[in-house]
Structure 1
Amino acid sequence: METAKNKHLTIGMDEDIPFGQAVLLGLQHVLAMDVYVPPFIIATAVAMTSSDASGLIQSTFLGAGIASLIQVLFFLKLPVCQGPSFVPVGAIIGIYFGAKGMDTVLGASIVGALAVILLGFTGIYKYIVRHFIPTIVSGTIIMIVGLTLLPTAFSSNIYPATETLSANQNMLLAAITAAILILFSMLGDYFPGLGKYFRISSVIIALVIGTVIASFMGGVDFQSVADAPLFSLPRLAFVNYGIHFDVSAILTMLVIYMVLLAETTGTWYAVSSVIEEPVTDEQINKGVIGEGLGCLVAAMVGTTPVTGYSTNAGIISITGVASKKVFVMASCWFILLSFIGKLSALIHAVPSSVIGGVFAVVCVIILLSGFRVIKNQEFSERELYIIGVPLIIAIGLLFMPTEIKESAPQFLQYLLDSPIALSAIAAIVMNKLIPEKKMHQ
């Protein structure tokens, strides 16, 4: 049995762990990933009925589970889960309204997924990564991923008041949950025996304790769990939706998929950095094929494109567990949740501020993982600009007023909604445009 070579890991990537432990650790990845948010945003924006919205969320769980198994077991073979990408949300809403329905969204998604698969089979993307994404760029992209996700923890999870919890209570819950997460994670460093198990389970311990505290505040409503059906089916393509191909929607989605690949490449490097295992050219090629197949499956089961989640890299760093068996179990949880309504409702009952407390810590870990990648680079003025300017662009896009975005052409709006992609492109372009200083003998 291979043991963890990385001193930061408790359990290595190819190390086996007991089934029960893998099930528990897989669940904490599922809880922390917050995958229901993109379909919830889409369903709300296009005014889906309650049953259609529930069906889309269940389809998203099913797509995420199958796509994750495809990547972990057969293609990328890294400890990472697939989930619905935030990148295409704006484009999907636009296509839905412009083409009247999910049929056209799914048709465009299928064509885009096939294009991604072709890109992997031809090896073109491997060439792009090797020549355009060196260490300085990949580390910057990882930092950007953490930086751009962090405000979401506050704006979407922590600050908004709910019917049962005020903004002040939400902030208190988030702070308590984050503190519990850090406490139990650090116990593994100070107490190598029992503390190791606390570190491994730190995410789920924080979520459970945070939810219990929230229930004492009156912030947890289990009525939705009681009302949810025990068994229900997701909405599927060819069963609940038709498939329609529209040229404009397809062209839009092709661009979105290229942006999505930039996002998922950052995730691969983030995971690679945490487990201290380099991503090979062959893995990148296979990962792109797996990404395309995962997105194709997602479209076939009636949901939106999926991507690797950087959240997993943060959780691996916190818990020290990188075993791929955990991610297989997480995939199985997703598939199970897609059919069992009460389990989905139970996860949805965890207060958003509790999830936000965990998510904020995870985002910072991702950001610092990027810094760890580039810390050994020589920092001349050239490198400072390559790192700094994309960070400026990312922050600028995060705080760009809505009216400015809406005044841009529709095609450009899709890109402005993706600070990760535009900042990554800026880092790549600057690395190529700014000449390296020649060393004089």
Structure 2
Amino acid sequence: MEAKTNGTNPHLTIGVNDHIPTGQAILLGLQHVLAMDVYVVPFIIAAAVSMSPGEASGLIQSTFLGAGIASLIQVLFFLKLPVCQGPSFVPVGAIIGIYLGGNGMSTVLGSSLVGALAITILGYTGIYKQIVRHFIPTIVSGTIIMIVGLTLLPSAFNGNIFIETATLSMNQNILLAVITAVILILFSMLGVYFPRLGKIFRISSVIIALIIGSIVASFMGGMDFTSVSEASFFSLPNFAFIDYGFDFDLSAIATMIVIYMVLLAETTGTWYAVSSVTGEEITDEQINQGVIGEGFGCLIASLVGTTPVTGYSTNAGIISITGVASKVVFVAASVWFIVLSFLGKLSALINAVPAAVIGGVFVVVCVIIMLSGFRVIKNEEFSERELYIIGVPLIIAIGLLFMPAELKGTAPQFVQYLLDSPIAVSALAAVAMNKLIPVPKNS
């Protein structure tokens, strides 16, 4: 059964509102799930606060469940664009501080719950729509997209590729990442140069790269299925109202509300990235609905026992690579997340994919996200003003990526929370420079 194509972007194989067979949607949804690497955030938090293996596993499963429900909320009811929600990296530093300084997860979830309610109200009142209209024009949104891609690259290299594991050396991990990235590009380009023969390869290029990369890793001795054999087939996530409860601390709530505001700047950049690669113009009203959906998604996330969620730019990169933007695929990805949250063995199997294999896909996706930002601003007239609005935030982002930990540690705790998110600080810098640098009179 052929997919019906009505996309507004000629680079797409399947458009946003186009039909796609269920079997294909299930497969393509899985490749989004695999490439998003959503277990990284809960894993970082669990390790930083010394959670037990059972608590860490429960947090990861809760993260899958929260991501799945939040994604369905956005795709079907609010933003109505092909996006997937996943745990945001923005509040990680703040969450660790709140956890250690309060009553553990109950304080984290209590402050997250109140923050989610606050941004939901922001969406319903229409205030955020006005903020975007006046503070985030094309030049700013494109810069934010570029920053998202740029700042994710170091974590792809340092966290996934330039590492040594118990079974693989650093050289082997680098080789795995190169093989996976080359396969991804090869199959994606087959679809470009041979549209009829290569269409299926382009559509499935991400999952093909992950499968072949994992097979190569197994020959290197890098696939460990111990966790899969030990995992329970069926297990429950840790729900907030059952396993943790809610603790409402005023300073934690104030911190989380500020973090949520910063997170909205990040997710707005993601929406513009998706809009750019799909050719679907995003309206002020749609942005407002997206904020409401973000609020509801984060509210659900706190209730099921996980951290705030946000739209993932990774998906925009995958859409650009595969040419598939159908919302049906993202509904399938959402269902995958929900299923995985209850099936311990399937979650363990996904987690068994070597980090370097995921890194090979991740670095390509990051570059595509960065260039998607350039695509957004390429039609702007570039005077010195625009060069500074784009360039200075990029400098800040790179500077924060390389900031020594001891220098960061001298800042007040609240400032440290922000410094842990180069995306947030750079986005705020782009907004500020666009407002502070006057437009030349002859423009």
TM over 0.5: yes
* Counterpart residue number, 2:355: 352
* Counterpart residue number, 1:327: 330
CA change 1:50–1:323 in 2 (3 A) is same
- Match among 161, 165, 173 for residue 168 of structure 2: 165
* Counterpart residue number, 2:34: 31
* Counterpart residue number, 1:374: 377
Gaps of 5+ in 2: none
The C-alpha deviation readout for 1:325-379, integer Å capped at 9, x for no partner, is 0000000000000000000000000000000000000000000000011111111
Structure 2: how far apart are the matches of 1:210 and 1:17? 27
The C-alpha deviation readout for 1:220-242, integer Å capped at 9, x for no partner, is 00111111110000000111111
The within-5 A match list for 1:82-161 is 82-161=85-164
TM-score (norm 2): 0.99
The C-alpha deviation readout for 1:235-276, integer Å capped at 9, x for no partner, is 001111111100011001001100110110010010011011
* Counterpart residue number, 1:182: 185
Alignment: residue pair count? 440
Structure 1: how far apart are the matches of 2:400 and 2:370? 17
- Match among 181, 185, 199 for residue 202 of structure 2: 199
Counterpart AA for 1:271: V
* Counterpart residue number, 2:46: 43
Structure 2: how far apart are the matches of 1:406 and 1:438? 44
Structure 2: how far apart are the matches of 1:174 and 1:252? 38
Structure 2: how far apart are the matches of 1:289 and 1:6? 27
1:5 Cα deviation (Å)? 2.5
Counterpart AA for 2:252: A
1:2 Cα deviation (Å)? 5.6
Query: Any conservation in 1 of the 2:191–2:201 contact (CA below 8 Å)?
Result: yes
Structure 2: how far apart are the matches of 1:195 and 1:5? 21
* Counterpart residue number, 1:429: 432
1:190 Cα deviation (Å)? 1.1
* Counterpart residue number, 2:271: 268
* Counterpart residue number, 1:288: 291
Query: Any conservation in 1 of the 2:5–2:14 contact (CA below 8 Å)?
Result: no
* Counterpart residue number, 1:411: 414
The within-5 A match list for 1:8-23 is 8-23=11-26
The C-alpha deviation readout for 1:126-174, integer Å capped at 9, x for no partner, is 0000011111111101000000001111010000100000000000000
1:194 Cα deviation (Å)? 2.2
- Match among 58, 63, 67 for residue 64 of structure 1: 67
Gaps of 5+ in 1: none
Counterpart AA for 1:375: K
Structure 1: how far apart are the matches of 2:161 and 2:5? 40
Counterpart AA for 1:185: S
Query: Any conservation in 1 of the 2:110–2:246 contact (CA below 8 Å)?
Result: yes
Residue 338 of structure 1 aligns to a residue whose secondary structure is helix
The C-alpha deviation readout for 1:12-53, integer Å capped at 9, x for no partner, is 000010000000000000000000000000001111110110
* Counterpart residue number, 2:262: 259
* Counterpart residue number, 1:227: 230
TM-score (norm 1): 0.99
Structure 1: how far apart are the matches of 2:211 and 2:81? 28
The C-alpha deviation readout for 1:174-220, integer Å capped at 9, x for no partner, is 00000000000000011111201000000000000000000000000
1:405 Cα deviation (Å)? 1.1
Greater displacement, 97-106 / 65-74: 97-106
* Counterpart residue number, 2:219: 216
The C-alpha deviation readout for 1:89-145, integer Å capped at 9, x for no partner, is 111110011003101100000000000000000100000000111111111010000
Runs of 4+ with deviation above 3 angstroms: none
* Counterpart residue number, 1:336: 339
Residue 149 of structure 2 aligns to a residue whose secondary structure is helix
Instruction: State yes or no: 1:244 paired with 2:247.
Output: yes
1:438 Cα deviation (Å)? 1.8
- Match among 72, 77, 82 for residue 79 of structure 1: 82
Residue 278 of structure 1 aligns to a residue whose secondary structure is coil
Residue 10 of structure 1 aligns to a residue whose secondary structure is coil
Residue 218 of structure 2 aligns to a residue whose secondary structure is helix
Query: Any conservation in 1 of the 2:35–2:362 contact (CA below 8 Å)?
Result: yes
Percent of matched pairs sharing the same residue: 78
Query: Any conservation in 1 of the 2:8–2:280 contact (CA below 8 Å)?
Result: no
Structure 1: how far apart are the matches of 2:418 and 2:225? 39
- Match among 394, 419, 429 for residue 397 of structure 2: 394
The C-alpha deviation readout for 1:284-330, integer Å capped at 9, x for no partner, is 11000000000000000000000000000000000000000000000
Structure 1: how far apart are the matches of 2:48 and 2:8? 47
Query: Any conservation in 1 of the 2:239–2:305 contact (CA below 8 Å)?
Result: yes
